[in-house]
Amino acid sequence: MSESGNQEQPYQPSIGDPTMGGIPPSGSQTLRIVRQGFWQTARRTWDFIYKSEKDKSVKIRIDDRRSIQALAGTIVLLVISVALVAMNKQLRPLAVGLGLIADLLCGIAAIWYVLLRFGALRALDPRYAVLCFQLAVGTGIVFAYFAVNAVLFLGFEFKY
């Protein structure tokens, strides 16, 4: 490979779904990327993840399971606190206290959940590690955008 890194790479089939990788031109060992449509790519990715989750050979660490359980439990607490406010105004002080505790625990569980999975990036090819990291950061930015707009919208609605 040259120092500039621009030399063509030999074709290597995808580890997962072979249709998601490149397809070598006939008689060539050069990788050619074939782009698929948005919905087709999303559907194939969803199917691949679903099959991978159901695969018995895929082992999930105990800490990962615990982080999933903690996140699910704190989300249930948040839903209960919101339901208490909606059901009875007299329960509002209890619901606010429960909501604040659940919110704090949910934030901790969500951060724990995400941070435990960042180590998996080291197992990827550097290009895919960067791409996955950018997806994670982009997702965080999108949800921050939605959160800020929700606060602004709700604040505007209640003020006027």
What are the residues whose beta carbons fall under 8 Å from the beta carbon of 23, sequence distance 6 or more?
32, 34
Asked if 44 and 76 touch (Cβ cutoff 8 Å), the reply is no
Residues 39/48, Cβ–Cβ less than 8 Å: no
Asked whether the predicted pLDDT for residue 130 surpasses 90, the reply is yes
Maximum mean pLDDT: which of 44-58, 100-114, 129-143: 129-143
Rounded Cα distance, 48 and 15, in Å: 11
Residue (of 74, 83, 159, 77) closest to 111 by Cα position: 74
pLDDT of residue 159: 60
Q: What is the pLDDT of residues 3-34, one digit of tens each?
A: 444 454 444 444 444 444 444 445 555 555 66
40-93 pLDDT, tens digit per residue, is: 888 988 898 888 878 888 787 888 888 888 888 888 888 888 787 777 778 777
Asked whether residue 145 carries a pLDDT value surpassing 50, the answer given is yes
Whether 8 and 30 have beta carbons less than 8 Å apart is answered as yes
Tell me: pLDDT of 36 over 90.
no
pLDDT for the residue numbered 33: 60
- The pTM for the full model equals 0.54
